Amino acid sequence: MRLLMEKNIQTHIVFGTKLDIGPYMTQGIDKPQTAHLIGMITHQGQSGARHCILPPYPGCVLHYTARTRRKDIWTLFNDEIVTIETRAIL
């Protein structure tokens, strides 16, 4: 199934930073398997057309930010601005 949307999602989505991947692993592994989120990329912007491709064309506004975690410190990279964030902001 393919999800096709013509509008950006404007809803805040809450998710954890740990995921139990045990149910997706091969059976017989006794040790608990947990994946830890270490980064995410967020697209911000809109397109005047149905598809917005690179290089940007008139009516196409694209912006991406990245967040990464090292130990318990999250860092937001937004162009030339780098900000340390708390988990509460995420």
pLDDT at 10: 72
CA-to-CA distance for 71 and 89, rounded, in angstroms? Answer: 16
What's the domain count of the chain?
1
Residue 5 lies in a domain: no
Residue 23 lies in a domain: yes
Residue 63 belongs to domain spanning: 18-85
CA-to-CA distance for 33 and 31, rounded, in angstroms? Answer: 6
pLDDT at 4: 53
Residue 60 lies in a domain: yes
Which positions ≥6 away from 58 have C-beta within 8 Å?
A: 48
pLDDT at 86: 76
How high is the mean pLDDT in each 10-residue block of the chain (90 residues)? Answer: 58 83 79 87 65 59 85 90 78
Residue 68 lies in a domain: yes
pLDDT at 49: 46
pLDDT at 69: 92
Residue 9 lies in a domain: no
Residue 46 lies in a domain: yes
Residue 51 lies in a domain: yes
